[in-house]
Amino acid sequence: MRRRMYWLGLPLGVLVLTAVWADTRRRPELLELGPLDVTAEPGEELSGGGATVAEAGRNAFGRSPPNMARAKWPEFHLGKRVFDRDWSEPTHVAPQVGPLFSAVSCMTCHVKDGRGRPPETPSEEPVSIVFQLGAAGGRGPHPEYGKQLDPHRLGGGRGEGRVEVTFEEVDGEFATGESFTLLRPRYRFLDLSGGPLGPDVPFSARVAPANFGLGLLEAVPEDTLLARADPDDRDGDGISGRANHVDDVTEGRKRMGRFGWKANQPTLLQQVAHALVVDMGLTSEVFPRAPEPGAAAAAAKPEVEPYDLERLVLYNRLLAAPKRRNWTDPTVLRGKGVFRALGCAACHVDQAMETGDVPGFLELSRQRIQPYSDLLLHDMGEGLADGRPDGEASGQEWRTPPLWGLGLQHTVNGHTRLLHDGRARNAEEAVLWHGGEAASARERYTRLRCEDRQALLAFLDSL
């Protein structure tokens, strides 16, 4: 097994490669799947049910659902304007970001409502990736830098610091004898305004996820999701998904989290308001105080007006899920069978879920959706661990990310980077990074014949 430094520019992690990859002297047997009885199911191409959009171009992630009432169009487009607004420009109606911030608009990170990526070179400034921090040896924000390192200061002054990202190449081999290479990210925190982070400080690099379909995910009844939880693995299948119970700051109680890389936000309202205050330093009625250590007490008037927050949440709630493509293609159907045979569907659930009734949003109510996620936490092993607890989530646990829209990511965002820190350059590398509860599925993938690996990738590209 060879390791080489790959100067691309991003995160850190610890990769444990199994003997299946590294020991070519005892190459494992190929996994012969044989015939797979898989057919196209009625309506499976409609990822978001009636809230599915057929757009497959550059705007595929930024469309309103076709079943949306015409009366909502003005509010939807006003919400888009808030999403695109540059909050660093002073106006008579909008406050400015900061004084410390990571981005000046929602669109800065969520370009075309899609997924962010790590820098391509060490000298490139990280844009659609943030670095969340924690206190040494425990929970809570960093005592000097807070929840997140902010690289910018209003007026062009020096921010809290910058991060240089590089990658180390790690080579492996399939059972067929073909080689592959993964990228292990490395980070250097430079020009820190308040001194070094300190020893044993956990941090987490996180790229911006795509925004579409969030209203549908919020509309899935909690009981539906909890029915799939198996925290003690009572059925013995090695999969023990569990919910992350987090604070709902508007209701003052614990609720199941379903948004964010570790399911650390319970509602779309809180997810949006949290992003405003942490990423841009903009307070709202949900988070009336900036999160930095030593920040001033809450102002009498929130910086983001309630009506702008409402429009922004409505916009994110109504972004439609994209329609699948080539779902009846024989290779794609074979890949669908491979997906199930490997055990991928244990977390990336391939069965349709039904949303509940959403008051005021008939577009999202009673829809059969297929996001390919259980929205639960799973231990993904040391290779993907960030060591930073979040709510009830450990440093090795991550929420199963939805797979819908996966095949359109390159069209919309011009790249295919995946996983929470963008280390995977494509879907295959994302599979090969799986560990922990998914280690057996990854191991089976490395033993597939080339044709079945390609079929699985074709299936993922159809989503």
pLDDT at 17 exceeding the cut of 60: no
Is-contact 353 224, C-beta < 8 A? yes
Q: How far apart are CA 38 and CA 84, in angstroms?
A: 43
pLDDT at 3 exceeding the cut of 60: no
Question: Residue 157 has what pLDDT?
Answer: 83
Helices (H), 49-188: 73-84, 106-109
Q: How many CB atoms lie within 10 A of CB 414?
A: 12
Mean pLDDT to the nearest integer, 303-313: 96
Q: How far apart are CA 441 and CA 339, in angstroms?
A: 9
Question: Residue 89 has what pLDDT?
Answer: 80
pLDDT in tens, 333-384: 999 999 999 999 999 999 999 999 999 999 999 999 999 999 999 999 999 9
pLDDT at 297 exceeding the cut of 70: no
- Own/partner contacts of 65-69, CB < 8 Å, gap of 24 or more, are 65/318, 65/320, 65/363, 65/364, 66/320, 67/362, 67/363, 68/318, 68/363, 69/362, 69/363
Q: How far apart are CA 289 and CA 286, in angstroms?
A: 9
Question: Residue 337 has what pLDDT?
Answer: 98
Question: Residue 398 has what pLDDT?
Answer: 98
Is-contact 110 147, C-beta < 8 A? no
CB neighbours of 129 closer than 8 A, spacing ≥ 6? 10, 11, 109, 116, 117, 118, 119, 205, 206, 207, 208, 421, 422
Quickly list DSSP for 217-228.
Answer: HHHS-HHHHHTT
Indicate the DSSP class of residue 384: G
Mean pLDDT to the nearest integer, 86-104: 81
Question: Residue 448 has what pLDDT?
Answer: 98
pTM to 2 decimal places:
0.92
pLDDT at 92 exceeding the cut of 60: no
pLDDT band at 50 (very low <50, low <70, confident <90, very high): very high
Indicate the DSSP class of residue 41: P
Burial of 397 (0-12, 13-18, 19+ CB in 10 A): buried
Alpha carbon separation from 337 to 43, 58, 132, 285, 330 (Å, rounded): 18, 30, 38, 48, 11
Buried/exposed 243-277: b ≥16 CB within 10 Å, e otherwise: bbbbbbbeeeeebbbbbbbbbbbbbbbbbbbbbbb
